[in-house]
Chains A and B, each alone.
Chain A
Amino acid sequence: MQLTVWTYEGPPHIGAMRIATAMKGLHYVLHAPQGDTYADLLFTMIERRDARPPVTYTTFQAQDLGRDTAEIFKNAVAKAYERFQPQAMIVGASCTAELIQDDPGGLAKALALPIPVIPLELPAYQKKENWGASETFYRLVRALAGQAVDRMPREGRRPLCNILGPTALGFRHRDDVIEIRKLLAALGIDVNVVAPMGATPADLGTLGAADFNVVMYPEVAKAAAQYLEKTFKQPFVDIVPIGVKATERFVEAVAKLAGVDPAPVLAGAPSRLPWYSRSVDSTYLTGKRVFIFGDATHALAAARIAATELGFKVVGLGTYSREFAREIRAEAAEHGVEALISDDYLDVEAAIQAAAPELVLGTQMERHIAKRLGVPCAVISAPIHVQDFPARHSPQMGFEGANVLFDTWVHPLMMGLEEHLLGMFREDPEFHDGVAPSHLGGKPRESSDAVEQATVVPPLAPSPAPATVDSITTHSPAPWAVEAEKELKKIPFFVRGKARANTERFARERALAIITVETLYDAKAHFGR
């Protein structure tokens, strides 16, 4: 058993729903107890869809367990087919139905419907949402893409590709697709099928006609792309074009596969991020300590952008996507930190606390942690809430995506002059230490020493020492002299947590009995900023 305060991913059948809801003409019959229809809300409320997801639930109850739940399932499949007339169906079980073992695949097959019915095996006690989405998409592609295809000869026509990966309930998938289409159009490449978003089962039957595939989200579509590579000899690009550099590499890779010239697309200044980041107003961003957590795709991209395009210092990097742990570990090594591979919210909380960052880039869950610690935060990855399905165009990918990222990540930080003045004058009654950035309302913090405060709010369960950087929790540190404590308060609050930790570590390593003002400055000189 695992104690779970917040969960980063839903169960795997939610992943399957994301595929079914993204597509058209596909219906999903889910063997599930009464109550599991809560999942509809994710789509109708969080993503604000205007139609019910194409999902029929059996919603069995306790009194049904004594009777024939298999019969209930068969009836539900038959009725769903009759009512919705889909081109294809997927059938499967939720976690509780998995325990009663009714074999949805076999039962549906026995009905001999005149459409493809694809059974899903999604082990709910082992796997999670993204795996469920990936597996469902892979099964659909396997079942519907066919075995062989007559591809038109390349001469005399524009190159043709598929775009794979965007789903329902995906973080900015809607606008990312627009950006990818824009890039491909500018390169002179035509799009054959976008899937699963907007595709029908019949569309999946034509996947083989494309020359190559673009994998937007490896978490969802890499398995399907590998299958297509094997079956149709379609190469694929899985460089995720989030960030300026990544977008350039993506354009070059796609252009190479398509045999077109990338130069016109890369010419000029396709994104404003590089200039904004070079303009002197951004100088104060240099070395800002940032902690990054999310799904692997977005965390990897964010780490590179933070370090090489915005000039931040990455002090923590992690993901809940175990499938991509290797890539995250490699990236973390580049930044000199140890990767945090965990889906335990409490571990992430402890790691953030230990790293004492000035900015957290994470999911909806990291917003909770950052709020509690009083640290600025921006959302870069699912899980997300309704405000991250905005009405306005807000991609993460491509050159426009980079513009969005610059604005979003810098926004929660205090502006440069404000930061300087706070460092110089400490007793201004309105504009003092510990107020939030004034453009965000400037409400007083609960404590003038947010990071310090965090160590006394509900004690954290002992968790495996988050190995990101020096831990502030080990052993009892030397006591602070009163003047030293006062002097510490003069350090701007967003770096104060780090200064405290460094000084205590400095004192510990030298076995000092007490921390004085001298110790504070000795430590400062020793570590540098």
Chain B
Amino acid sequence: MNAHASIPATAGCGVEIRQEYGQRAVFCGLTGIVWLHRKIQDAFFLVVGSRTCAHLIQSAAGVMIFAEPRFATAIIDERDLAGIADMNDELDRVVGRLIERRPDIKLLFLVGSCPSEVIKLDLSRAALRLSKSLAPDVRVLNYSGSGIETTFTQGEDACLASLVPDLPSEPAEAATSLLVVGALADVVEDQFARLFAEMGLSDVRFLPARRANEMPAVGRNTRYLLAQPFLTDAARALEERGARRISAPFPLGAEGTTRWLQAAADAFGVDPKRFEVATAPGRKRASQSLDHYRERLGGKRIFFFPDSQLEVPLARFLSREMGAELVEVGTPYLHRAHLADELELLPRGTIVNEGQSLDDQMDRCRAAKPDLTICGLGLANPLEAEGLSTKWSIELLFTPIQGYDQAGDLAELFCRPLVRRTRLEV
């Protein structure tokens, strides 16, 4: 079952896409809560699951473990499974206790998990019921972050997709508006808002918004631009509301950011001169800051284990802008349409590996002896102990990396482990 199935490469781009099945060392979608609960400031995430789920989020929350978190778990116990307690009554009781403790909460997500999905607990009905009883103070939504359905960042996708049907409707006669989709660091979001404004696009909104009651409106005149590559379901939900996608590579690195902004500018008929003026300072700063790292990353052989679906855009950035060589680009899931512009830009012959068979992939990595391996925290220290330099991938979700003014920071993230290796004498 772990055999490679080589499928025909995507037309024209010369990239070899392979698929692999087997043991997967990836997070489940619940992990998205770790950053989403900070992005939406008055939202709370209640996982309905087992002790494993509670243990996972508290382990993944790692460093920020001291902050009062806006997430918790309703742990299913044997009384629930045996039907001694009515699970819906139990859930209402738990939510009641929670809202009492956190009266500042305006938006509550009931997050499904593997156990709740396997026993088919209907959380969407529970969300409707609770929304009614808690209205108007608290809205209750539901999505699944289970491992059987979602991998790591797909949890954000599911969360945003659950928000979409609930977004206000734009009037039919509204002017065309731009919606940027995907949780970005606040600083990055503000930079993009300024750039769009300088290009003359004043009506730009972001999903998710920072507060529950400020979520953007959507309608037939909405054009949306994905800021993250893992938003399959959110995009579909937006299409259902009449919004149309602007196809673009993702705003990583100077080139990615320019092409991403360019796609929006083209869609809105921005005057090329004005685009030039608006982006020139950013492009200049980005290329300046990238120069610091080019020597260090140029020619380095890089291996990506699958993790977040950011791998393809990151590989594109590292190869085209930093001159790195791509050994293997693993991704947990490849959305052929959303990644089409990215795949076009990858060097011919790049191997993109969708899915995973962990031990086989580790064998390939060891055999290739890459200069830098991008992988999860379960693999990083073991590979370091084997003599490989690693960059732990989860950090790429917790750090502002998009846009011109973060391009240098992004390159630095990959350089740091290499520099460190040369510094340590012990």
Contact = CB atoms under 8 A, between A and B. Distances in A.
Q: Do A and B originate from a single complex?
A: yes
A33 B28 contact: yes
B60 A1 contact: no
A269 to B, nearest CB: 36
Contacts of A48: 381
Nearest to B97: A461
Contacts of B58: 6-7
Interface stretch (B196-204, B313-321, B372-380, B395-403): B372-380
A461 B94 CA distance: 11
Contacts of A4: 51, 54, 72-75
A94 B385 CA distance: 29
Given A4-B72, A38-B56, A96-B50, A123 B78 contact: yes
B187 interface: no
Contacts, number: 193
Interface in A419-451: none
Contacts of A52: 378-379, 382
A36 B78 CA distance: 20
Given A50-B382, A95-B51, A460-B101, A125 B147 contact: no
Given A2-B77, A368-B65, A44 B382 contact: yes
B378 A37 contact: yes
Contacts of B66: 367-368, 371
Given A34-B24, A40-B378, A94-B52, A1 B94 contact: yes
A38 B59 contact: yes
B40 interface: no
A49 interface: yes
B87 interface: yes
- Which of A33, A34, A462 has the largest count of B CB atoms less than 10 A from its CB? A34
A11 B146 contact: no
Interface in B65-82: 65-66, 68-69, 72-78, 80-81
Contact of B385 (A36, A45, A50, A100): A50
B23 A33 contact: no
Contacts of B4: none
B117 interface: yes
Interface in B104-124: 104, 114-115, 117-119
Interface string B76-93: 111011000101001101
Interface residues of A, number: 66
Interface in A29-67: 33-42, 44-46, 48-52, 56-62, 64-65
B101 A33 contact: no
A458 B67 CA distance: 13
A11 B76 contact: no
Contacts of A240: none
A94 B148 CA distance: 13
Given A34-B26, A458-B104, 18 more contacts: A1-B48, A1-B74, A1-B85, A6-B58, A34-B28, A38-B31, A41-B59, A41-B377, A44-B382, A48-B381, A50-B385, A52-B378, A60-B148, A62-B146, A79-B359, A83-B359, A458-B101, A459-B103
Interface of A: 1-7, 9-11, 13-14, 33-42, 44-46, 48-52, 56-62, 64-65, 72, 75-76, 79, 83, 94-96, 99-100, 123-126, 128, 346, 364, 367-368, 371-372, 385, 458-462
For the complex of A and B, list the 10 residue pairs with the smallest distance between their C-beta atoms, beginning with the closest.
A35-B28, A35-B147, A40-B378, A50-B385, A96-B114, A95-B50, A1-B90, A10-B55, A34-B147, A62-B148
20 contacts: A1-B90, A3-B98, A6-B54, A9-B51, A35-B56, A38-B56, A38-B378, A39-B59, A40-B25, A40-B377, A44-B380, A44-B382, A45-B381, A50-B382, A52-B378, A52-B382, A58-B23, A79-B359, A385-B62, A461-B100
